[in-house]
């Protein structure tokens, strides 16, 4: 679990930085601009890391499934080699799919100065600036979203159906509580991330609204990565114990 959490933390630091830095700069300056190279670079980093996070969250759901549904075989099934392979597969899949899609988008013709109706170079706002027929690109975006956002989400859903089924047949309330607390943090993170991402990339083009899209995008690009450390920290018994000891030592240094 901690191996995957380290990867998730590193991924989200890079993921948020790729968007937040430019956004903060634009809040401070009057003339808000970005070069085509800067826009492409931001989209490459953002889409690759976003896709990788989808795959990594699905991998973490499988890890929780094995831990709860097959606890006696956990160390055998989730060996160090298997964890590294699953993690590498998430990164490779994200890189190959999104690098190809972003490269295809920036082969479109963009005529003259344009204004992006967004706070970063997201796929759909940039595609809408092309002075060419983009219907194929929008269909490809929908297909990639269905396969590589909805796909991991369905794998997570199946994993949690099996997990909940196993928890419900556990004999003691203590066992059920312990099993649920093991996966509750991950479940909250998945709900926050996939709920907003699915709404953004699978909504119909007729109902697309730039203002709504910006608000939803702010949730999964900034707010969700900001909340994830808090969620995982507060759901972890060891971290809560260490936090209590630290607070007690700092605020109550004298012996009682």
In a domain, 45, yes or no: yes
> Which pLDDT tens digits describe the chain residue by residue (256 residues)?
788 988 988 898 888 888 888 888 888 888 888 888 988 999 999 899 989 999 999 999 999 999 999 989 999 999 999 999 999 999 999 999 999 999 999 988 888 667 888 888 888 888 888 888 888 888 888 888 888 888 899 999 999 999 999 988 888 888 887 777 777 778 888 888 888 887 777 766 666 677 777 888 888 888 888 887 777 776 666 666 777 777 777 766 555 4
116 is a domain residue = yes
Residue 241 lies in a domain: yes
Please indicate, yes or no, if residue 256 is contained in any of the structural domains: no
**Contacts by 138-144 with C-beta closer than 8 Å and gap 24+?**
138/205, 140/101, 140/104, 141/101, 141/201, 142/201, 142/202, 144/97, 144/101
Structural domains in the chain (count): 1
- CATH number, domain with residue 33: 1.20.1070.10
Query: Is residue 142 in some structural domain?
Result: yes
What are the distances in angstroms from CA 114 to CA 22, 127, 131?
17, 12, 11
Q: Is 47 within a domain?
A: yes
Its domain, for residue 211, covers: 2-251
Per-residue buried b or exposed e for 3-36, using 16+ beta carbons within 10 Å of the residue's own CB = ebbebbeebbeebbebbbebeeeeeeeeeeebee
Residue 21, domain member (yes or no): yes
């Amino acid at each position: 679990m901690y191996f995957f959490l380290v990867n998730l933390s590193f991924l989200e630091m890079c993921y948020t930085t790729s968007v937040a830095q430019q956004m903060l700069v634009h809040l401070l300056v009057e003339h808000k601009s970005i070069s085509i190279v800067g826009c492409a670079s931001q989209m490459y980093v953002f889409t690759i890391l976003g896709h990788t996070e989808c795959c990594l969250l699905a991998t973490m759901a499988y890890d929780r499934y094995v831990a709860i549904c097959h606890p006696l075989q956990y160390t055998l099934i989730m060996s160090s080699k298997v964890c590294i392979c699953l993690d590498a597969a998430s990164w490779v899949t994200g890189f190959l799919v999104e690098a190809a899609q972003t490269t295809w988008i920036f082969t479109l013709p963009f005529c003259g100065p344009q204004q992006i109706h967004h706070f970063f170079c997201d796929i759909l706002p940039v595609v809408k600036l092309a002075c060419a027929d983009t219907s194929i690109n929008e269909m490809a975006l929908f297909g990639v979203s269905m396969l590589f956002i909805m796909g991991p989400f369905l794998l997570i859903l199946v994993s949690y159906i099996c997990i909940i089924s196993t928890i419900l047949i556990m004999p003691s309330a203590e066992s059920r509580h312990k099993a649920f607390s093991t996966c509750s943090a991950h479940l909250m993170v998945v709900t926050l991330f996939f709920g907003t991402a699915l709404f953004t990339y699978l909504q119909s083009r007729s109902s697309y609204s730039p203002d709504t899209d910006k608000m939803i995008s702010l949730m999964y690009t900034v707010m969700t990565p900001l909340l994830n450390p808090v969620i995982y920290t507060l759901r972890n018994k060891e971290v809560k114990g260490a936090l209590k000891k630290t607070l007690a030592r700092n605020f109550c240094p004298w012996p009682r």
